[in-house]
């Protein structure tokens, strides 16, 4: 049976961890390095760092902050935000990242997925997909949810898989920050279609939501931010709950 992963996410803006609802109304959630250390100690399987305004502000990811976090953790570390080239990836890997995530750059130039996968290995490349369901159809969004496209979610997920990405991180903008659960129907559809792991993101509010993401959505990993940042759930408690419910997790 597949071991499921629990991944806290640090959404960073101006060097501080923030969290909002539906990608809006961001509020401070604490120091990124301190949170990273806390999650390391609680048993997080991985950590994801997203410089959420880097693409919109047309600048590069905060490399110095990435270095500080990497020096303090010993779990797989994924970094994203403003990454548009092989040079950007090199900087992040040299700064201590184990994997990088690309989003808007991949939609604008899908060939970059092939290029990065060939140069650094598929295991290093996570493609993040932000999508919103409008009138029953899931559409992909760019620049941290600011720019809509006409690209349909499942079509893009299949393309990402075919181009050599190692993983997909799917964030439902409809569910983000609502604490009402993940987009399990879309998750299940995606995991049935693609052959690579899918990380569920957006909507975690209680421990059952993680259980549902793994059973109803068939996600390989579940990501959350605010429930961990504000201590609504601890990772150690969540893993204990999931084990008791029959979900295989790393301890």
Asked whether residue 249 is assigned to any structural domain, the reply reads no
In a domain, 251, yes or no: no
pLDDT of residue 14: 62
Confidence band, pLDDT 50/70/90 cuts, at residue 127: very high
Q: What are the catalytic residues? A: 11, 130
Give the CATH number, domain containing residue 124: 3.20.20.70
The pLDDT of 219-223, averaged and rounded, is: 98
Cα dihedral 175→179→183→188 (10° resolution): 160
Domain span including residue 176: 5-244
Record the tokens describing residue 86, joined without a space.
Answer: 């092989």
149-152, long-range: CB < 8 A, 24+ apart: 149/107, 151/107
Q: Is 77 helix (H, G, I), strand (E, B) or coil?
A: strand
The overall average pLDDT reported for the chain is 89
**């953790």: which residue's tokens?**
73
Q: Model's pTM, two decimal places?
A: 0.90
- pLDDT per position as a tens digit, 166-201: 999 999 999 987 899 999 999 999 999 999 999 999
Name the domain count of the chain. Answer: 1
The answer to whether residue 250 is domain-embedded is: no
Q: How large a percentage of the chain has pLDDT more than 90?
A: 72
pLDDT of 212 above 80? yes
Residue 139 CA to residue 200 CA, distance in Å, equals: 17
14-35 residue pLDDT tens: 666 664 444 444 445 568 888 8
Give the E-state strand segments of 38-172 in sequence order.
47-51, 77-80, 99-102, 125-134, 137-142, 147-152, 167-172
pLDDT for 107-118, tens place per residue? Answer: 999 999 999 999
Q: What is the CA radius of gyration of the chain?
A: 16
> Does residue 128 form part of some domain?
yes
| Residue 99, in any domain of the structure | yes
């Amino acid at each position: 049976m597949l071991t499921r992963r629990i991944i806290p996410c640090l959404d960073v803006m101006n060097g501080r961890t923030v969290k909002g609802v539906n990608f809006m109304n961001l509020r401070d959630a604490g120091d990124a390095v301190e949170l990273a250390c806390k999650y390391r100690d609680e048993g997080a399987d991985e950590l994801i760092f997203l410089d959420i305004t880097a693409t919109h502000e047309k600048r590069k990811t905060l490399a110095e902050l990435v270095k500080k976090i990497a020096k303090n953790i010993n779990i797989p570390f994924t970094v994203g935000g403003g990454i548009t080239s092989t040079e950007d990836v090199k900087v992040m890997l040299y700064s201590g990242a184990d994997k990088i995530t690309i989003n808007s750059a991949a939609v604008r130039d899908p060939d970059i997925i092939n290029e990065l996968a060939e140069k650094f290995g598929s295991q290093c490349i996570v493609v993040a997909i932000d999508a919103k369901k409008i009138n029953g159809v899931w559409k992909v969004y760019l620049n941290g949810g600011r720019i809509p496209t006409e690209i349909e979610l499942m079509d893009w997920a299949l393309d990402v898989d075919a181009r050599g990405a190692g993983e997909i991180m799917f964030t439902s903008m409809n569910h983000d920050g609502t604490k009402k659960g993940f987009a399990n129907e879309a998750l299940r559809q995606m995991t049935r279609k693609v052959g690579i792991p899918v990380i569920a993101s957006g909507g975690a509010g209680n421990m059952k939501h993680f259980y549902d993401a793994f059973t109803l959505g068939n996600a390989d990993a579940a990501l959350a931010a605010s429930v961990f940042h504000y201590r609504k759930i601890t990772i150690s408690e969540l893993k204990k709950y999931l084990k008791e419910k029959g979900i295989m997790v790393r301890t």
